[in-house]
Amino acid sequence: MGLLRLVLGDQLSHDIAALEGIDPGRDVVLMAEVMGECTYVPHHKQKLVLVLSAMRHFAEELRARGIPVDYIRLDDPDNTGTLSGELARAVARHRPAGIVATFPGEWRVLEAMRGWEEVLGLPVDIREDVRFLCPLPRFRRWAQGRRQLRMEFFYREMRREAGLLMDPDGPVGGQWNYDAENRRRLEPGTMPPPPRRFPPDPVTQGVMDLVAARFPGNFGTLDAFAWPVTAAEAEAVLADFIAHRLSRFGDYQDAMAAGEPILFHALVSTSLNLGLLSPRACCEAAEAAFRAGRAPLNAVEGFIRQILGWREYVRGLYWLKMPDYARLNALEANRPLPWSWWGGETRMNCLKQVVRQTRDLAYAHHIQRLMVTGNFALLAGLDPAQVNEWYMAVYADAFEWVELPNTHGMAIHADGGIIASKPYAASGAYINRMSDYCRLCAYDVKAATGPEACPMNALYWDFIARHERRFSANPRMAMPLQTLRKMAPEKRDALRAQAAAFLAGPEMRPEA
């Protein structure tokens, strides 16, 4: 017998390392749907359907290429429920000479993999995941000896190495970063083109029935499921984005609007994270649109920075800092998640909009995740472990290597500044500037105290006051600290009392 080649649910790429050199006459691919992976966090129903359906489609594509696949379904009566259990059963069935796997996307899974050789008594070859543009040893070399690991400097090196948006004498346009141009609010009457959608085919429909029956209590609805589940569909989503939305991606990257969940975003994270799309292909398609004069530089640079910069950077950081990173709680936050995050009543329109669309689509774009839920979690001092679990649970693209640094690092500063040099804290004014949420809100964004005052305002000043000592050491926090210190003591007390009343009130009722 040849080798048993393991392909996990987020490794659905035909060039995945575990399949390299496969001998279809001797080797077998193992793919297994297991309860342990479906339940280690209470995933959104759409995420479960997405991963299981994409796995089933990928197995069919392998078979069509003549590659034998041993595929274990979730409802197989002998299914042990764990990856290790299914591997042991497959070893007993096929008696392979060894196991070949690809480096996983989570510390938890790597830990399990490391024990397999001993448990199974077979050689286990864990190969590097070559789908990323920055190999992990390369990231470690970049990080070595640096006092600060800022994304911007990593990104510039990646641009040079990948040769993306480069002229012979430096970055195209003379600047590395055009973020300052990417902060427009959506003007009334601007109509983002509807994204490409895929109604469920019979395979997806079968998985939807399974998920509806097995996970009825999980967060989210399935009605609007339209995620790409094959590489061909993922490529169609990318092409649709490049043709219809990329040109305004930059301008409206930070905008938010009620009833417009996607705006000009790409909707490619699920496909990238499952392996249906390659990061290089996304960047090259965007650059080609720029070179052909179909998209401006601020849009294309912004898009490439997200993928070549942020995406590669957070992955490198995750593997550099785990497992300790998951336990960091630099701001000593410990408040439980409020019920409103799981769909409970709230008068805060910004939160209501983001949670509602998350329930319906398993999607929110970056600024919604960062500046609405993330900002609220930061200001209210929500427990990092619960915040992390929520983000892992509710988004279709959530995999720990990318979710955890974004949550603990970028959104709630639990890592004490490893990723962001200062907390992304904002009052209601930011949300009012970048969205129309406040116009339709029961609270008054211009008020900081009183029964109708926007909670983000008092929470913001309470947050700054709560961490005054810690932030004194951070020059980037000088401005809010100065304002706080100049504030009349009565005003400061009133703001803190307002925040305390909100935090003790019905909006913060913990999860039922």
Contact residues for ligand FAD (CB under 6 A)? 265-269, 272-273, 303, 306-307, 310-311, 314, 365-366, 369-370, 374, 391, 395, 397-398, 402-403, 406-407, 410-411
Give the span between the Cα atoms of 277 and 12, in whole angstroms. 9
Least CB distance to ligand SF4 at residue 191 (A): 23
391 binds, among ligand SF4, ligand FAD, none (CB under 5 to 8 A by kind): ligand FAD
3-state secondary structure of 488: coil
Residue 248 or 352 with smaller CB distance to ligand SF4: 352
Continuous segment of H or E residues that includes residue 10: none
Q: Which of 266, 441, 465, 477 binds ligand SF4 (CB under 6 A)?
A: 441
Q: How far apart are CA 418 and CA 255, in angstroms?
A: 26
Residue 103's binding partner among ligand FAD, ligand SF4, none (Cβ under 5 to 8 angstroms by kind) is none
- Sign for the pseudo-dihedral over CA of 68, 74, 77, 81: positive
How many amino acids of this chain bind ligand SF4 (CB under 6 A)? 14
89 phi and psi angles, rounded to 5 deg: -65, -40
Residue 341 within binding range of ligand SF4, rule CB under 6 A: no
- Pick from 207, 445, 459, 508 the residue near ligand SF4 by CB under 6 A: 445
Instruction: Tell me if 31 contacts ligand SF4 by CB under 6 A.
Output: no
Of 52, 55, 53, nearest in space to 63 by CA: 55
- List the single partner that 398 binds among ligand FAD, ligand SF4, none, CB under 5 to 8 Å by kind: ligand FAD
Between residues 306 and 457, which has the closer beta carbon with respect to ligand FAD? 306
The stretches of 216-278 forming alpha helices (DSSP H) are 231-244, 246-249, 269-274
Determine what percent of the chain falls in helix, strand and coil, rounding each to the nearest 5.
Answer: 55, 5, 40
Q: Which residues 345-374 are close enough to bind ligand SF4 by CB under 6 A? A: 348-350
Comparing CA positions, the residue from 286, 308, 306 lying closest to residue 297 is: 286
Order of strands across the sheet that contains 69-72 = 69-72, 28-32, 3-6, 98-102, 124-127
Of the candidate spans 206-214, 274-282, 450-458, 500-508, the one that interacts with ligand SF4 by CB under 6 A turns out to be 450-458
User: Using CB under 6 A, which of 50, 431, 458, 459 touches ligand SF4?
Assistant: 431
From ligand SF4, ligand FAD, none, which one binds at residue 438 (CB under 5 to 8 Å depending on kind)? ligand SF4
**Is residue 508 a contact residue for ligand SF4 (CB under 6 A)?**
no
Alpha-carbon span 341 to 350, nearest angstrom: 12
Shortest Å, Cβ 310 to ligand FAD: 4
Shortest spacing between CB 396 and ligand FAD, in angstroms: 9
Helices 151-162 & 136-143 angle (0-180, nearest 10):
130
Asked if residues 218 and 248 have their Cβ atoms less than 8 Å apart, the reply is no
CB of 388 to ligand FAD, least distance (A): 9
